[in-house]
């Protein structure tokens, strides 16, 4: 099974802000925000609890290459991010320097999760995630067919 390494169309850049309210916003405030081009993306609810029902909720970033599944309970592969990681692994195996890895990702239209172009620092910060996914990628049938081509590039 060959993977198509063509990236999806680039994501539009988005500006996000988070506001903390002491009271619910009124209709005039919401209308003003809409006129400025803002739209609501999420609503966060909070309430006071006591006793055994109180529990701390820990939020963690979703690992690069994954997304929340349709059931909102499980993670599933994010195809474009997975393609970007496979390309990074291929280039790093070929001993390509991180600035050139970032440039190649940008040349092929890949963007970071936030929609920015890749930088050497962004690639470097993803190295622990690449180490996490490496065993699964390296043991796949697709990788077995790619490996001889990659090692003969020299």
Q: How many other β-carbons are positioned within 10 Å of the β-carbon of residue 89?
A: 20
Helix (H, G, I), strand (E, B) or coil at 99: helix
68 - beta bridge partners? 75
**Alpha carbon distance 67, 81 (integer Å):** 10
Residue pair 88/150 in contact by the 8 Å Cβ criterion? no
**Digits of tens for pLDDT over the chain (154 positions)?**
455 555 556 656 677 777 777 788 899 988 999 999 988 877 777 788 776 655 665 667 889 999 988 888 888 999 999 999 999 999 998 899 999 999 999 999 999 999 999 999 999 999 999 998 887 776 777 766 766 666 665 5
User: Alpha-carbon distance 95 to 1, whole Å?
Assistant: 25
């Amino acid at each position: 099974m060959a993977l198509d390494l063509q990236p999806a169309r680039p994501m539009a850049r988005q500006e996000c802000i988070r506001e903390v309210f002491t009271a619910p916003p009124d209709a005039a405030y919401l209308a003003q925000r809409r006129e400025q081009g803002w739209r609501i993306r999420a609503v966060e609810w909070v309430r006071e609890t006591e006793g055994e029902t109180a529990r701390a909720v820990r939020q963690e970033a979703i690992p690069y290459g994954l997304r929340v599944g349709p059931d909102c309970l499980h993670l599933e592969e994010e195809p474009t991010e997975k393609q970007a990681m496979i390309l990074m692994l291929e280039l790093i195996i070929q001993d390509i320097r991180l600035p050139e890895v970032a440039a190649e990702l940008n040349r092929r239209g890949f963007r970071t999760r936030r929609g920015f172009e890749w930088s050497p620092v962004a690639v470097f910060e993803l190295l622990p995630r690449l180490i996490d996914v490496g065993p699964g990628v390296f043991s796949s049938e697709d990788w077995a067919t790619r490996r001889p081509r990659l090692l003969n590039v020299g």
